[in-house]
Amino acid sequence: MKLDNSNSNGQMSIAADVTPPNNSDDADEAFVPPLNFAMVDNGIFRSGFPDSANFGFLKSLRLRSVICLCPEPYPETTAEFLKASGIRLYQFGIDGCKEPFVNIPNDKIREALKVVLDVRNHPVLIHCKRGKHRTGCLVGCIRRLQRWCLSSIFDEYQRFAGAKARVSDQRFIELFDISSLKHNPLSFSCSKK
């Protein structure tokens, strides 16, 4: 499938001109990525909850969709920004409970994974509140599909969760049943574009 934002000749455009954030003419204005922002794979990003300071940076990613893993109503300013930018919002509300009252629901992670696996939604930003636990669980399941060994998956999870790392999240990632999604495995595919 050819995506609208693909370069017509497959050219790598990493050195392309940068669109100034916030549509400002000030080319030196700094980009402010959301908290805990990182690239997961081609077309897949992760972060904490974005706010208006991040809109310029998010614009530069030319996102097609956002997956929010928080159950609260989406903040109006951010919802308006997404709408104005033509970015589709997928919300899979998961409570941000603390141990030992943690219950990451299998079905919501599975539905979110299906959105992530569909390249028509790329580039996609996955976020929760702080980009640690719920986002970490979803990214951990992506890594399972990419056949990363568990120690590497947990290493990555812990890098984002820091002192807040939860054994229960890591257990969820380990036990999550990927068999039904295996027909569509993700590779770490940067070079295959």
Q: Which residues bind a copy of itself (CB under 8 A)?
A: 1-3, 5-19, 21, 28-33, 35-45, 57, 60-64, 117, 119, 122-123, 146-150, 152, 155-156, 159-160, 162, 184-193
| Identity of the residue, 27 or 97, whose beta carbon is nearer to a copy of itself in the bound complex | 27
| Identity of the residue, 64 or 166, whose beta carbon is nearer to a copy of itself in the bound complex | 64
Question: Active-site residue numbers?
Answer: 128
| Identity of the residue, 11 or 23, whose beta carbon is nearer to a copy of itself in the bound complex | 11
Tell me the closest approach of the beta carbon of residue 72 to a copy of itself, in angstroms.
Answer: 24
Q: Sign (positive/negative) of CA torsion 192, 63, 21, 29?
A: negative
Q: Which of 171, 114, 164 is nearest to 140 (CA)?
A: 171
- As beta bridge partners, residue 126 has 46, 67
- Distance between CA 81 and CA 90 in Å, rounded? 15
Q: Which residues contact 22 (CB under 8 A, 6 or more apart)?
A: 29, 55, 56, 59
Tell me the closest approach of the beta carbon of residue 110 to a copy of itself, in angstroms.
Answer: 16
Residue 116 gets which letter from DSSP? Answer: H
Residue type, position 46, single letter? R
Tell me the closest approach of the beta carbon of residue 163 to a copy of itself, in angstroms.
Answer: 10
| Identity of the residue, 103 or 120, whose beta carbon is nearer to a copy of itself in the bound complex | 120
Tell me the closest approach of the beta carbon of residue 147 to a copy of itself, in angstroms.
Answer: 5
Q: Which of 127, 113, 133 is nearest to 58 (CA)?
A: 127
- Distance between CA 123 and CA 43 in Å, rounded? 4
Length of the chain as a residue count: 193
